Amino acid sequence: MATTFSDMKLETDSFIPDIKILSVHPAFSSVEWSYDDRPIVVGKWNSSGPKIGKSLILQGHIDVVSPEPTRLWDYDPWGSTIVGNKMYGRGICDMKSGVAAMIYAVKAIKKLGIELGADLTLQSVHEEECTGNGALATLLRGYKADGGLIPEPFGPRALLSQVGVIWMRVTVSGSGAHVMSANKAVNAIEKAYTLIEALQIYRDKINYEQPKHADFEDVDHPLNVNIGKIKAGDWTSTVPSECTFEVRIGLYPGQNPQDIKDEAEKYLLKAAKSDPWLSDFPPEITFYGFHAHGVSLNKEQEIFSYLEEAHNKIYKDKMEYLSTTATTDIRHYNLLYDIPTTCYGPTGGNMHAPNEWIDLSSVKECTKVYAAFILSWCGIRNRVDAF
């Protein structure tokens, strides 16, 4: 990314997020790893002369989720196989193609010799998939603008609302033994299952027993509670002494992630009380990763009318809006710095699943929409023959 940005003659800043600065910020999501050798890359196209348009951040995340189990893929997950109008690979949809589209839109504008009326910044961040700390790091380094666009692959629709997310880790103790005395032992996997069942009831409770957020009225099940990881046991004839599982929990815009952490912890500890073993040996509950607020945007903001106009130039129809049951990096820009930021991107499928793909013609259309959007949002300083 750094090479691409400097080849484009952008003022390129490649930096490692400073965990000391990040970790004292309230929007920081705690991590158990280091950022060494994992730079964020920013490429800034400085507008020369007085500002005549609005400055813009185009940001994309280049981290991806694991492709495992790779045996379920028909194509190399780390390749980029084209079949017909589709390209397959891990991260192709979420969101390498969006990153490509934003870069090529800027390249096309530069190639025409156009000078923008305000600064434009291209950003390649990481950790959208687990913390959002990458985006936060760019803001704390001082990269701000009048608006932002993140080309997440939601298709040619603007993102209006998204849930928040927390991650929780639950460690359940058993009383291990050789399987021959299993009747006296306590199987940590079986005890964990009691809590997993309780979480299924919790999931129904938060979706159906509290009023839905207005943005998610049409969504059947907005707040997903996902058991994403489980780890226990290392021998088939040993009763496992410990089982750890990890859970992703969604929350509505306006809810505080800390309140949801407290609520989920309380709920699980209460469920543990109804089991004789677990009430004596309650699970250990900790949190790391996502500590993300939800976001609900005001549709009347200028960024949407500019985007609608750009969309209409290419698609000749009315742009649609979307509320997503996932989180994206837009929260930091909107909630912390009042930078109106939305998502709009190409169309694809199988995100976080085998055979992830992108519709290649949608990438081209999306690139054109970005170019039209950049030109009207940032303004054009010079007239060029191409117009």
* Chain contacts with Zn ion (rule: CB under 5 A): 94-95, 152
Strand partners, 244: 171, 231
Whether the Cβ atoms of residue 377 and residue 56 lie closer than 8 Å to each other:
yes
- Closest to Zn ion by CB, 94 or 356: 94
- Closest to Zn ion by CB, 10 or 95: 95
3-state SS of the chain: helix, strand, coil percent to 5?
35, 25, 40
Which residue, judged by CB position, is nearest to Zn ion in the bound state? 94
Query: Smallest distance from the beta carbon of 219 to Zn ion, in angstroms?
Result: 19
- Closest to Zn ion by CB, 152 or 359: 152
Cα 170 to Cα 60, 92, 206, 262, 362, distances in angstroms: 32, 32, 19, 13, 41
Q: CA 52, CA 378: separation in Å to the nearest integer?
A: 8
Which residue type sits at 220? D
Cα 314 to Cα 93, 308, 311, distances in angstroms: 21, 10, 6
Q: The tokens of 340 are what?
A: 């109106």
Query: Smallest distance from the beta carbon of 194 to Zn ion, in angstroms?
Result: 34
Query: Smallest distance from the beta carbon of 128 to Zn ion, in angstroms?
Result: 5
Q: CA 260, CA 206: separation in Å to the nearest integer?
A: 10
- Closest to Zn ion by CB, 54 or 61: 61
Show the CA angle centred on residue 148, arms to residues 371 and 145, nearest 5°.
110
- Closest to Zn ion by CB, 207 or 324: 324
Query: Smallest distance from the beta carbon of 117 to Zn ion, in angstroms?
Result: 30
- Closest to Zn ion by CB, 244 or 325: 325
Query: Smallest distance from the beta carbon of 205 to Zn ion, in angstroms?
Result: 29
Query: Smallest distance from the beta carbon of 154 to Zn ion, in angstroms?
Result: 9
Query: Smallest distance from the beta carbon of 98 to Zn ion, in angstroms?
Result: 8
- Closest to Zn ion by CB, 13 or 94: 94
Contact partners, residue 105, CB within 8 Å, separation at least 6: 58, 367, 368, 370, 371, 374
